[in-house]
A and B are shown apart, each in its own frame.
Chain A
Amino acid sequence: MKLISEPYMLLTITVGIYWLIKHLQNKTNSVFLNPILITIIIVISILEFTGVSYKTYHESGKYIEFFLKPSIVALGVPLYLQLSKIKKQVIPIVISQLVGSVVGIISGVLIAKWLGASHDVIISIAPKSVTTPIAIDISSAIGGIPSLTASMVVIVGIFGSVTGFKILQLFKVKNPISKSLSMGTAGHGLGTAEAMAVSQRFGAYSSMGLILNGLFTAFLTPIILRILGLI
């Protein structure tokens, strides 16, 4: 089982499974074939089955993960392209993002607290709505467990991207800008990818939500947690 621990083996497996699921999803259009969710489950199963630890997997996975930070930087491009549109409606966008950010931090932390989660979990849940690299940095800054936060972020993203548009429909949100914006606010990169699949314009507003919520949450999480007496 030594061979499977080689980075090229694990990278091939990860890329291959993702590509296969994505291919199947494109063919069948099934919501159950969520590429990231299924790939994570299959990769974890393979690792458990072959007895490869996460630490060993990370030696390979870090090459993929490396691209996360540059991809956040790359969001500067759609942000630049939308600057003129954003300027025209800066007040509705900024205020709704502020509301979303505050609601996200407070509700996540309080629900976890009321239901008896441990302190580490409560702190790690606070930045769950924003994209992984930001959430990880916030988590370590406030004394959470960054990789636990990363897990929560991924669950949030999968849940948000699969159910987001349905929930918005259920609550009769009609404005397409409001919809795509909140997909990015609540479901970060995965929500944005889902919106991007609807149209470039949806994707553009969704990335706006991702960016602003990331910024606001980075600034507000330490303050809100201090007010709530959690740190």
Chain B
Amino acid sequence: MIRQLFLILICLAFGEIIVYFTGIKIPSSIIGMLLLTAGLKLKIIKLKWVHSIADFLLDNMVFFFIPPGVAIMCYLDIISNELVPILAAIFGSTILVLISTSFTHQILRKIKFKKLTEDKK
């Protein structure tokens, strides 16, 4: 388990180092994630070395959202003052993202499959 923890943390640490030295505006966690994927792909890291900690972290991801969620209490005044724009933006935009993403993907997949079947003919 310690090795598992170490590997996750070192990916994150390298992410932090890269952000520190390059000043790029990408979260260190995303860089760490890409480093982990690259490490697995290049077989530097074996899947079984990170498997169980990854399962633990991913299975409980929702739970880790609770403290930042509780932080809403600090902004109850801003949120209640601007309740309508905030909720409209959140609900409206989330629906638009759902629809635009799924429609685009569905259409592109259909086109791709049509092409594939035509190629086969």
Closest A residue, CB atoms, query B74: A54
A77 to B61, CA, bound (A): 14
Q: Does any Cβ of B come within 8 Å of A112's Cβ?
A: yes
5 contacts between A and B (CB under 8 A): A71-B57, A95-B104, A125-B89, A178-B101, A186-B101
Cβ contact within 8 Å between A61 and B70: yes
Cβ contact within 8 Å between A71 and B98: no
Q: Does any Cβ of A come within 8 Å of B99's Cβ?
A: yes
Contacts of A39 in B (CB 8 A): 66, 69
Chain A 116-164 residues near chain B, CB threshold 8 A: 116-118, 120-121, 125, 128-129, 132-134, 136-138, 141, 145, 147-148, 150-157, 159-160, 164
Q: Does any Cβ of B come within 8 Å of A231's Cβ?
A: no
Chain B interface residue count, CB cutoff 8 Å, equals 72
| A32, chain B: closest CB distance, angstroms | 16
Contact with B along A72-89 (1 / 0, CB 8 A): 111111111001000001
Interface range, A side:
35 or more
| B45, chain A: closest CB distance, angstroms | 9
Give the total number of A-B pairs whose CB atoms are below 8 A apart: 318
Quick one: given A91-B108, A133-B27, are A186 and B97 in contact (CB under 8 Å)? yes
Q: Does any Cβ of A come within 8 Å of B75's Cβ?
A: yes
Quick one: given A61-B67, A128-B90, are A117 and B85 in contact (CB under 8 Å)? yes
Cβ contact within 8 Å between B66 and A99: no
Cβ contact within 8 Å between B90 and A173: no
A24 to B100, CA, bound (A): 35
In this complex, the member of A65, A96, A141, A156 whose beta carbon has the largest number of chain B beta carbons within 10 angstroms is A96
Quick one: given A18-B63, A97-B101, A215-B30, are A107 and B96 in contact (CB under 8 Å)? yes
Known: A74-B54, A147-B71, A177-B105. 7 other contacts (CB 8 A): A64-B66, A83-B37, A93-B105, A96-B108, A115-B88, A132-B65, A175-B102
